Amino acid sequence: MIGAGTVGGGVVKILARKLGEFRERLGLDLRLTRIADKDSARLAALPVGDAICSGSADDVLADDQIDIVVELIGGTTVARDVILRALARGKHVITANKALIAEHGPELFAASEKAHVSLYFEASVGGGMPAIKTIREALVGNDVVSIKTIINGTCNYILTQMAAHGWSFAHALAEAQRLGYAEAQPALDIEGHDAGHKVAIMASLVHGGYVPFDRLPIEGITHIAAEDIAFAAELGYCIKLLGIIRKDGTDHAVDVRVHPAMLHREHILASVSGVFNAILLEGDAVGPILLYGRGAGELPTASAVVSDIVDVARNIVSGKPLRISMDYYAHDNALALKALADVHSRYYLRFSVVDRPGVLASIAASLGKQGISIASVMQKESHDSDFVPVIFLTHTAVEKALRAAVTEVETADYVRQKTQVIRIVD
């Protein structure tokens, strides 16, 4: 094992308790032989048993007796180097590193193919929920028609708290940071990139190619206002950061995206609160399947790493360790992604306009000109002397038409703030 931080510490603790059972009940002669972390104090605090502790990953990589390297360093620089070296030395690798898999998957899986070893990454998506295993094994008889997922606990915690207390985003973020649910540097979570990494990995598995991560449409939650959540609630909706993976039969491209979405309160994902995550998979045979659980944390994530360790060990014991091929994660196999401009959706629009006659008609005319049909309108009394919020819910429209209409509206002199646009998901 390389890296003994939060997740690594959790893995050591589980192994200390479970290795005896793995040897006896499962018949796997598993041992933790070496563990490396720069911080020797961390290692000293863990029940490492007979494992040889060291400050350098090299000691692990150089040991020819080691079959499996568990990389829990995090980040995409040192970790990438360590994994590539481990694979090149013929070691199976297990990682929880979603950024690395999502951004460097093709390179890493090519290296694992070349070395005839496996690269497992269950812990990279959804903590202890068996997301990868379910897609890759349990639903193998299905075309996975769609995935909708709440997959970042920090964002879901912030949005849940905003809804419960009427807090602003900034206040909810500060509270989440105070309680340890958000990092001091929260951008990776609140800008949607962490969710994007996980969604990219799932989309790659489902559609047999890799998602070019830099082309994935990702929108975070930083622009969600307390009043949007309040208006949504009044209309029977909640707002969640949602990952979506969808392919319609008529289109070659796969619709993969991460953004805030309004879900009707009866939607099964609407009840996923706080730091919990959920993945709603729709298979053509199995119908909807929901996985729900803690998507992060020391022991939940470690639980997934340990399940990979046992899986790879079972594969090794079976005599031919490459049980599951990963060659569809290959260099030449980039998925074509549907452009956000071509997505069809219903929309929530909050215009901030001067309260004077003719404004509503003018906005409606701009929407009508783009062929966008209005489902409902709500105008509230002003909280502010300057402008009022006017809410439109639209019927299904294509995003580029919607954006063109909003752009036209925003050229008018009665608009006071940028328009809020939130997609409504069924």
Name the residues that contact its own copies, by CB under 8 A: 10, 14, 18, 22, 25-27, 122, 127-130, 133-134, 137-142, 208, 268, 271, 283-294, 297, 299-300, 302-307, 309-311, 314-315, 317-325, 328
Active-site positions read: 198
- Taking the least distance from each CB to its own copies, the nearer of 245 and 409 is 245
- Cβ 232 to its own copies shortest distance, Å: 20
Cβ(221)–Cβ(192) under 8 Å? yes
Output the CA angle 4-213-96, nearest 5 degrees. Answer: 20
Using the minimum distance from each CB to its own copies, give the nearer residue, 137 or 410: 137
- Please answer whether residues 247 and 255 qualify as being in contact, where contact means their C-beta atoms are separated by less than 8 angstroms: yes
Task: Compute the distance between CA of residue 386 and CA of residue 323 in angstroms, rounded to an integer.
Answer: 65
Q: How far is the CB of 10 from its own copies (least distance, A)?
A: 7
Alpha carbon separation from 4 to 57, 72, 74, 302, 399 (Å, rounded): 11, 7, 11, 11, 45
> Least Å distance between CB 359 and its own copies?
41
| Distance of closest approach, residue 309 Cβ to its own copies, in angstroms | 8
Give me the DSSP letters along 174-223. HHHHHTTSS-SS-HHHHTSHHHHHHHHHHHHHHHTSB--GGGS-B--STT
Name the residue among 418, 422, 415 with its Cα closest to residue 394: 422
Name the token pair of 409: 């509206």
For residue 253, give every residue at least 6 positions away whose Cβ sits within 8 Å of its Cβ, in sequence order, or none.
335, 336, 337, 338, 339, 342
The nearest distance, CB 343 to its own copies, in angstroms, is 27
Report the residue number, 225 or 270, with the smaller CB distance to its own copies.
270
Task: Indicate the residue among 245 and 359 with the shorter CB distance to its own copies.
Answer: 245
Q: Do residues 74 and 97 touch, judged by C-beta distance below 8 A?
A: yes
Of the two residues 123 and 199, which places its CB atom closer to its own copies in the complex? Answer: 123
The 8-class DSSP code of residue 413 comes to T
Helix or strand holding residue 352 (H, E): strand 344-353
At residue 386, the 3 state secondary structure works out as: coil
The whole-angstrom separation of Cα 247 and Cα 202 is 13
User: Closest approach of Cβ 11 to its own copies, in Å?
Assistant: 8
Nearer to its own copies, 44 or 285 (CB): 285
**Residue 311 C-beta: closest distance to its own copies, Å:** 7
Q: Is 388 left (phi over 0), alpha (psi -120 to 50) or beta?
A: beta
Residue 173 CB, shortest distance to its own copies, in Å, is 24
Handedness of CA 384, 387, 391, 397 (dihedral sign): negative
CB closer to its own copies, 71 vs 282: 282
Strand pairing class (119-120; 92-95): parallel
Place of tokens 């990139």: 193
Residue 253 or 290: the one with the smaller Cβ distance to its own copies is 290
